[in-house]
Every structure is written in C-alpha cells, then in structure tokens.
Amino acid sequence: MALTISKAELIGVFVESLAYGVYLMVFNQCMFVLRKRRSSSRPSGYLIGTAISLFILITHLVIDILRNMQAFTADEAKPNYPTIYYSTFNTWQNILKSTLYVAVTLVSDAFILYRSFILWGRDYLIAAVPFLLFIADIAIGVFWVYTLSLVVPGENVFADALSVRVKTFYSITLAMNVICTLLIAFKILKIQKVVAPFATSSESSTFRLLPIIVESGSAYSALLVIMIGTYTSNSPAMFIILNSMSPIIGIVFSSVIVRVGLGLSHGDSHRANGTMSSSRSIKWTSQRASSRLPNTQQPTYSGSFPYGGVQVSLQQSVHTHADDMQEDIENGISNSPTEYKSGSFRVI
C-alpha cells in the first residue's frame, strides 16, 4: 500500500502526539529544575527564555489536529477529499503551522549557537561562521513562508520554488548545527581529557559519551539528515518527520536545559571576563596507606583550563591521622601519609 501525503499527514500527527506527550514530561522536569535553581541563585535568562519559547511554539500540535479533523470529516461525501485538502498548501492553517515550525527551528538554532559561544569563552571568531549561517537561515525561513502563500492548489510541493527554499533552509540549519555540535563535543572532550587522571575506572566510555551526545544536540542534527533525505527523495514520509520534528526539538533542547540547570553541563552562565560557570561531579582515588578518621574538607585548588574559557577547580576530602592534620594543611597535602578517597570536579 503506497504512502500518500494524506496518510503521511495522519501518521505524522499520531507520531507528533506521542512525541509531544514525552516533551511535556521533559518540559515539566525542565521548569522544576529552573524553579529550584531560581530559589537558590539567579537562573540564566536564556535558559528560561528558550524553555518557555519552545513550549509556546511547539504547542502548534493543536493546529495539526484541527487540519486532520477538517481533512477527514469536513466533506466525507467528496471522493479523495483528504488528498485534495492536503494538496492545498496556501491555507492559513498550513501557513501558520510552517511559520511556527520555522520559529521553533530558529529558537533552537539560537540556543545551540549561544551555548557554543559561551562554552568557547565568548570567542567571536569561533562563533562567526555559525552566526552567519543563522542569519541566512532567518532569511530563507521568511522566504519559505512567503513562497508557501503563493503555491496554487495541485502544485507539486517537491518540484517548485518552495522545494528549493525548504531544502536550502534545512541544509543551512544542518550545517550550522553540525558546526555547533562539533564545537561543543570537542570542548567537552577536552574537559574530560583534563579530568581523566582523577576519574575512577568504573566510568565506562558510554557514560562519558552520554553528556556529549545530549549536550551537543547531535540527535537534532541526525533528525535533520533524515528530513533532508526524505524530502530530496520526494517521499511523503517527509510529512511524518516534519510533523514530529517540533516536539523532538523540544525534547532534545529541554534535556540540555535540564542538564545545564542541574549544574551537570557546561555553559550555564557567564561572567564579564569571558569565563563560564558550571559544575560536574566526579570521583577519584589515590592509593596511599593510612588510618582513617572522619573526612576533613581541604581547600579548593584551582587551575586554568588550557583550551580557553574554562577554569578547573579540584576539591578533595581527606582521611588522615589527627596529629598530621595541621601538617597536611600546611604542606598542601603533598608529603603527608594521607589517603585521598573522594572529591569533586568543578568547572567555574
């Protein structure tokens, strides 16, 4: 049974509804984290702004449900009415839906661009190319919506001027996201390399790769590749991906906001001198023999991160002899019979 545009639209709304349900759970967790963060410290404005903006824009699911109801119930006596309805692209519902989708894409693009900028210590040179792509994306998005209003009923959506602009929009978005994804992933890998000597052997490679995958938004880039592939092949499955794209964008970037809000990520706030503030807990061990007394908190030792924009702080909890405590503090824990059992890593 061949997949038609009307069937793809129907399946797409079903998949979108499932994805939207998942997104609501992630969004609820996102707002809970941001509220808790607000009670203890001032949350970053771009986190709150991105979360709320995405929620408002992604709720265009209501429009998709309305279009489905009109397509399959408005004129049941007319043969193939769903096909005729979905072949008319210049309706106000479809134009509004496309406008909201472009807005969701631009908000998510702005978020990942800003995160890259902050993570790299406000380096304007690093952010120059992604920023230019972002500006181009805005222009193409406006042309996309404008061209959609000019499409006549029955026109091939895969072959006209609209097709060119949609493909251009997706391609620019993909290029910008791939660049930002690589920048974020590279920076996280560098940070992990610095703290690797202090990490426990129990940390698997999968555990270390998970924050890279989540924080870089690589899942969104992969979805864009699928979107471009289905559109280029003139497959109606493109409408399934298009309908489900917005809530998936919400899931991906709300998950990033949750990690940043919990202090498990990087780039959650910024300072005037260009360094960024975030934290990540990590445990380490060092084999030294001694008797054990209750933990004594030692001073925090800080060092500059060699790759720019980040400062690393190492904090230790020490088990030691009571009569050696003062000597340990004075000597900086360098020549004392101590055993380092636990600690934390913090990017400040």
Indicate the pTM of the whole model: 0.73
pLDDT value at residue 172: 96
The predicted-structure confidence for 244-281, as pLDDT tens digits, reads as follows: 999 999 998 888 888 777 766 654 444 433 343 443 44
Radius of gyration of the chain (CA): 25
Mean pLDDT of the chain: 76
The reported pLDDT for the residue numbered 186 is 86
Residue with tokens 């998949």: 15
pLDDT greater at residue 105 or residue 348:
105
Q: What are the Cα distances from residue 280, in Å, to 192, 197, 264, 306?
A: 10, 15, 5, 18
pLDDT of amino acid 37: 73
Q: How far apart are CA 251 and CA 219, in angstroms?
A: 10
pLDDT at 238: 92
Percent of the chain with pLDDT over 90: 37
Going by the DSSP 8-state scheme, the letter that residue 336 receives in this structure is S
| Encoded amino acid at 117, one letter | F
pLDDT mean over 324-345: 43
Q: Rounded to an integer, what distance in angstroms lies between the CA atom of residue 72 and that of residue 81?
A: 7
Question: Which residues have C-beta within 8 Å of that of residue 16, sequence separation ≥ 6?
Answer: 61, 64, 243, 244, 246, 247
User: 135 pLDDT band (50/70/90 cuts)?
Assistant: very high
Q: What is the pLDDT of residue 333?
A: 43
d(CA 278, CA 185): 16
Longest CA span, the chain:
93
State the pairing for strand pair 269-270/296-297.
unpaired
Would you say residue 131 has pLDDT above 90?
Answer: yes
Give whichever of 34-38, 48-52, 291-295 has the largest mean pLDDT. 48-52
The pLDDT value given to residue 181? 86
The tokens of 285 are what?
């061990």
